[in-house]
Amino acid sequence: MEGSFVNIFIKAAFIENLVLMYFLGMCSYLAVSKSIKTAFGLGLAVIFVLAVTMPINWLIHEHLLSENGLFGRDLTFLKLILFIAVIASMVQLVEMVVEKVSPALYNALGIFLPLITVNCAILSGSLFMVTREYTLGETIAFGLGGGFGWFIAIVALAAIREKIRYSNVPAPLRGLGMAFLITGLMGVAFLGLMGIDPAALQ
Amino acid sequence: MADVLETKVAEPKEPVLAFGKKEKKLLTDPLSENNPITVQVLGICSALAVTSLVLPSFVISIAVIFVCAFSNLFTSLLRHYIPNQVRMIVQLVIIATLVSVVDYVLKAFSYEVWKQLSVFIGLIVTNCIIMGRLEAFALANKPWKSFLDGVGNGLGYGLILIGVAVIRELFGKGTLFAGSPIEMSIIGPSASYWINTAAESGIGTWFSWYANNNLFVLPPAAMFIIAIFIWIHRTWRPHLVDVS
C-alpha cells in the first residue's frame, strides 16, 4: 500500500508534472520566476495550499456531496463552487501568515499571492482527485507530489532565467519571451517522460 | 509584469455613460500596449489548453469577454461594500455565477459546442485575467470604466487566442474552424482539401512534400508561438522590452 503512495507522488511530481505536462498554473509560473528567492517562496506556498486544500476537498466531496454523504443526495454539481471557496479561504489564510512572517516576500509576490486562488494547478488538483477516484491517502500523496513538481519546475525556470540574464538575447525576446521559449523546451523534454510506469521502476 | 492600471478617477462630475478619449483608451490599450497575455502575463493556461482548434478558442474568447466585462461591472458596483478580508471569496462567487450563466446558455443554444467545451468553460473560473482585472482595476474604479476595461481585456485576450489557434490548426491539422458550419479544409492529402497534396496535377503537386506537423497540436507549440508573438510585438513597441 505504501508503494502506491510513492508511485502517485513520483507520478504527480515528474511524469505528470502539472506545469510541464498539463501546462496548468502558468500565469504565476511565468511572472514570479524572475529570481530564485521569490520562486522558492511561491513554490512553497503552492505546495502548502495544494497539500491542505486537497484533503479538505476530498472530505467535502466524500462526506457532504456524494450520494452516501451527509445529505443523502447527489450534490456534486456544487463541487466547483465549494472547491473554489475552500481554496480561496486557504489562500487568504496563507496571505495573512506570509504578511506577518515575511513582509519582504509578501511585497515581492505582490498580486500573485491572491492569484494562487485562481492558479489552475490548485483547482485542477482537486478536479483530478475526483475524476481519478483517489482515496484520502492517495489524495494527500497526489497533493504533495503535484505541489512538489510545481515547486521544482518554477525553481528550475527561475535558475535558468537568472543565468540567462548574462547571455546576449535579442532585446525584444529578453525576459518574458525567453521564459516562454524555455518553458516550451522544458515541456518538450518532459514529453519524453510520458508513458513511464513508476511501478516498473521499483 | 502585471502592469497595474492604477488610474484614480479625478473628476467626480463626469456623466455616467461617457465615451471619450479615456474610455476609448480603456478599450484599445489591452489590444496591444497592455495586452493581457503578452504584457500582463495573465490567462496563459487556457491559451495553451484550448488553442489547438479555432472554434473552441472563438467560443472561449466570447465567454471571457462576457464574464470579464460583467464581473468587472458588478465588482465595481459593490466595491465600497466588500470587506477587504473576504474580497476574494466575493469576487469568486461573482465569477462563478457568471460562468454558470455562460455554461447554461451555451448548453441551451448550442449543445454540440457545449459538449465539446464543457471542461474549459468551467476553467474560466480560474482564468487569472478575470481575477487579475478585478483586483487591479475594478476595485478602484467606477462601474462604466470597469465594464469597458473588462471588454477591452477580453478582446485583447481573444485576439492572441485566435491568432495562436489559427496557426496551430492550420499547420497541425491543415484545416480552419473545424467542427463549425464554415469549416475550411486548407491543405491535406485528399480531394476534400483546397490544396490536395496527393493530387496528380494542379497546384497540389507543388506541395507534395507537405505533411501536417504534429508538434503544433501539442501544448509546447503554443509556448513557442506566443514567444514569437511577444518577439514581434516588442520589436514593434520597443518600450515594452524588459529592462531586467
**Residue B69 grid cell:** 466585462
Q: What is the pLDDT averaged over residues B125-149?
A: 84
Distance between CA atoms of B18 and B101, rounded to whole angstroms?
Answer: 28
Query: Which of A:139-178 have CB within 8 Å of B?
Result: 165, 170-178
Tell me the shortest Cα–Cα distance from A5 to chain B, in angstroms.
Answer: 28
Residue B188, helix vs strand vs coil: strand
User: Is the pLDDT higher at B44 or at B67?
Assistant: B67
Overall size of chain B counted in residues:
244
Q: Which residues on A lie below 8 Å from B85 (Cβ)?
A: 92
Structure confidence at residue B12 (pLDDT): 47
Please indicate whether, in this complex, the C-beta atoms of B48 and A23 are within 8 angstroms of each other.
yes
Report which of B180, B156, B211, B154 is spatially closest to residue B53, judged by C-alpha positions. B180
Structure confidence at residue A112 (pLDDT): 65
Distance between CA atoms of A16 and A196, rounded to whole angstroms?
Answer: 10
Of B85, B128, B219, the CB nearest to A23: B219
Q: Which residues on B lie below 8 Å from A118 (Cβ)?
A: 125-128, 130-131
Q: Which residues on B lie below 8 Å from A91 (Cβ)?
A: 88
Q: Which residues on A lie below 8 Å from B132 (Cβ)?
A: 27, 111, 115
Please indicate whether, in this complex, the C-beta atoms of A111 and B86 are within 8 angstroms of each other.
no
Most confident of A150-164, B112-126, B164-178: A150-164
Tell whether A102 is within 8 A of chain B (Cβ): no
Per-residue pLDDT in tens (0 to 9) along chain A, 202 residues: 456 888 888 888 888 888 887 778 887 788 778 888 888 888 888 888 888 889 998 888 888 877 777 777 777 667 777 888 888 888 888 888 888 888 887 877 666 677 677 677 888 888 888 878 888 888 999 999 999 999 999 999 999 988 888 888 887 888 788 888 898 898 888 888 776 665 655 5
User: Is the pLDDT higher at A69 or at B124?
Assistant: B124
Distance between CA atoms of B70 and B135, rounded to whole angstroms?
Answer: 14
| Torsion of Cα atoms, A187 then A188 then A189 then A190, to 10° | 50
User: Is the pLDDT higher at A77 or at B154?
Assistant: B154
Distance between CA atoms of B73 and B20, rounded to whole angstroms?
Answer: 19
For residue B70, tell me if it sits in a domain: yes
Please indicate whether, in this complex, the C-beta atoms of B85 and A92 are within 8 angstroms of each other.
yes
Of A28, A91, A188, the CB nearest to B220: A188
Of A112, A173, A185, the CB nearest to B231: A173
Tell me the shortest Cα–Cα distance from A190 to chain B, in angstroms.
Answer: 10
For residue B81, tell me if it sits in a domain: yes
DSSP string, B131-183: HHHHHHTGGGS-HHHHHHHHHHHHHHHHHHHHHHHHHHHHHHHSEESTTSTT-
The residues, ordered by sequence, that sit 6+ positions from A162 with a Cβ below 8 Å of its Cβ are A35, A36
Q: What is the pLDDT averaged over residues B149-156?
A: 89
Query: How many CB pairs below 8 A link A and B?
Result: 134
Task: Render pLDDT for B174-227 as a digit per residue (tens, 0 to 9).
Answer: 778 777 777 777 777 777 777 777 767 777 677 777 777 878 888 888 888 888
For residue B216, tell me if it sits in a domain: no
User: Is the pLDDT higher at B91 or at B204?
Assistant: B91
Tell whether A97 is within 8 A of chain B (Cβ): no
Please indicate whether, in this complex, the C-beta atoms of A180 and B4 are within 8 angstroms of each other.
no
The full set of domain ranges for chain A reads 15-195
Distance between CA atoms of B143 and B132, rounded to whole angstroms?
Answer: 16
Please indicate whether, in this complex, the C-beta atoms of B238 and A171 are within 8 angstroms of each other.
yes
Structure confidence at residue A197 (pLDDT): 63
Nearest Cα residue in chain B from A186:
B220
Instruction: Enter the DSSP assignment of B189.
Output: S
For residue B101, tell me if it sits in a domain: yes
Number of domains forming the structure of chain B: 1
Name the pTM for this structure.
0.78
Distance between CA atoms of B133 and A110, rounded to whole angstroms?
Answer: 14
Please indicate whether, in this complex, the C-beta atoms of B41 and A175 are within 8 angstroms of each other.
no
Structure confidence at residue A151 (pLDDT): 92
Query: Which of A:23-42 have CB within 8 Å of B?
Result: 23-28, 30-31, 34
For residue B6, tell me if it sits in a domain: no
For residue B94, tell me if it sits in a domain: yes
Q: What is the pLDDT averaged over residues B19-46?
A: 76
Nearest Cα residue in chain A from B227:
A177
For residue B7, tell me if it sits in a domain: no
For residue B4, tell me if it sits in a domain: no
Q: Between vectors from CA B219 to CA B223 and to CA A44, what angle results, nearest 5°?
A: 75
Rg value, chain A, Cα: 18
User: Is pLDDT above 80 for B86?
Assistant: no
Domain extent, residue B158, equals: 43-170
Q: Which residues on B lie below 8 Å from A88 (Cβ)?
A: 88-89, 92
Give strand pairing partners of B196: B188
